[in-house]
Amino acid sequence: MARPRSSSPHTHSPRSTQWLMLQVLVATVPGLIVLTRLFGIGTLLNILIASVTAIVCEAAILKLRKRPIGFYLRDYSALVTAVLLGLALPPLAPWWLTVTGTAFAIIIAKHLYGGMGYNPFNPAMIGYVVLLISFPLQMSAWLAPAGLLTDGPPAAAPDFMTSLQIVFMGNSIDGFTAATPLDAFKHNSGLLVAQFYEQTPQFAQGHWAGFGWEWVNIAFLLGGIYLLARKVFTWHAPVGMLAGLSVMALFNYDGGSSTSHGSILFHLLSGATMFGAFFIVTDPVTSATSHRGRFIYGVMIGVIVFLIRSWGNYPDALAFAVLLMNFAAPFIDYYTPPRTYGHSKSGTIIHRSKED
């Protein structure tokens, strides 16, 4: 009797790509809860719109590419892209903004490069940057976190109907917006940091790095720790990024003068720092491959984030930093292969080739 012959190994770990993707989705939950608590259902709407768009685009492209649709949809990678982009967009962004960004991410950034596993750039960040450059007004319209006391009554998240109207009917969002702490800090002119913190409600009412936003970052940090504990990724890239950012902040910290670039804590708990460190920088497809490589990749992202935050035109810089380092990932790979068992040096891939 002829028996089927498969190649060894004949046993397999139960972890699958779907499982990994689901873990990432699960880990976004704390961040999502805090965002919703602060800004209402805007982020949920973003995620919903983005997810539907992503699945439709993915299915359409798979059909065009004559690939099994169900098989690829079940890897949840499109969903992860959609959720990450939905989290990154300002809550209550108009629906077409989300649709445009997601469609661009899935169709152009992912499938035109060969689909799952072949994209050199992080699709969610490509979608984000395309929107940021094309629609800067909508992309900078962040809501005031619920509970923030400004001149009038305390800010409250728009209710359900208002949210729907803003997203789908194009109603004005102006009454609800406020500068994010990063934005506010960037526009500090002439005040010492301590004075500035006192005078600006975003900081005066916060604990470490701006009212509301510090909790967003802490929530994403928790999600990241969960992923680390489940060994979905190693610590190298996220810790690298946080270290790069911290070291830059440390070296540029001047004790809080009027031209200060902000403290370490400010940078770590502001904007997209934690979200980026644990959900964007850790995207394995577009990062370097070895542990050393991933650490360097992370550090460089942290450094670039600081540079753009401090001297660039944008208040935050995660998407740009990630995309720039996506370019550099293959280059890093050439110089950071691990030392193979039985070899005295790790060398570089290029030099190894020349030796052979």
Partner 1 sequence: MSKIWDIHGGIHPAENKQQSLTGPLQAVSLPDSLILPLSQHIGVPASPVVSVGDKVLKGQLIAAAKGFVSAPVHAPSSGIISAIEERAVPHVSGMQAPCIVIETDGHDRWIEHSAIADYRKQTAAELVAIIRDAGITGLGGAGFPSAVKLQPQQAIDTLIINATECEPYITADDQLMRQRSADILIGIDILAHILGDPERVLIGIEDNKPEAQEALAKALADKSANRHGPVIDVVEFPTKYPSGGEKQLIQILTGKEVPSGKLPADLGIVCQNIGTTYAIYRAICHGEPLISRITTVTGKACNKPGNFEVLIGTPVAHLLEQAGFDDTLCPQLVMGGPMMGFALPSTAVPVVKATNCLLATTAEETPALPPAQACIRCGHCADVCPANLLPQQLYWHAQSRNYERLEAHHLGDCIECGACSYVCPSNIPLVQYYRAAKGEIRLINEEKQQSDRARIRFERHQARIEQEERDKAAKREARKLAAEAAKAKRETDAKTVSTDTKNASAEKGTSDLDVVQAAMARVAANKASPQDQRKRFERAIETTAARLAKAEQALEALMKDAKTDCTKEQLAQRDQQRASVEQARLRHQEAKNKLAALDADQASEQETEPALKANRSDDPALDRAATAIARAQKNAAEQALMSPQQKLQQLRDTLEKRLSKAQARLAQAKSEDSDQLEAFGNAVAILNEKIKAADLELAAFDQSRPPANKQTEKSEETQ
| Residues found near partner 1 in the complex (CB under 8 A) | 1-13, 15-17, 19-20, 71, 75, 77, 115-118, 232-234, 284-285, 287, 289-291, 294, 333, 337-344, 349-350, 352-353, 356
Cβ-based nearer residue to partner 1, 5 or 66: 5
Rounded least distance, CB 211 to partner 1, Å: 37
The structure tokens listed for 29 are: 């939950």
Cβ-based nearer residue to partner 1, 46 or 282: 282
- 3, exposed or middle or buried, with CB in 10 Å at 0-12, 13-18, 19+? exposed
Cβ-based nearer residue to partner 1, 10 or 66: 10
Rounded least distance, CB 339 to partner 1, Å: 6
Alpha-carbon span 266 to 211, nearest angstrom: 11
| DSSP 8-state symbol, 110 | I
- Compute φ and ψ for 239, nearest 5 degrees: -65, -40
Rounded least distance, CB 337 to partner 1, Å: 6
The structure tokens listed for 64 are: 């065009």
Q: Which DSSP string do the residues of 250-269 spell out, in sequence order? A: HHH--SS-TT----HHHHHT
Rounded least distance, CB 136 to partner 1, Å: 32
- Check the CA dihedral 97-201-220-279 and report its sign: positive
- 148, exposed or middle or buried, with CB in 10 Å at 0-12, 13-18, 19+? buried
Rounded least distance, CB 300 to partner 1, Å: 18
Cβ-based nearer residue to partner 1, 23 or 205: 23
Rounded least distance, CB 236 to partner 1, Å: 9
Could you tell me the end-to-end alpha-carbon distance of the chain, in angstroms, rounded to an integer?
46
- Check the CA dihedral 66-71-74-75 and report its sign: negative
Cβ-based nearer residue to partner 1, 109 or 167: 109
Cβ-based nearer residue to partner 1, 140 or 289: 289
Alpha-carbon span 339 to 343, nearest angstrom: 7
Cβ-based nearer residue to partner 1, 138 or 348: 348
Residue 20 CB partners (closer than 8 Å, separation 6+)? 232
Rounded least distance, CB 13 to partner 1, Å: 5
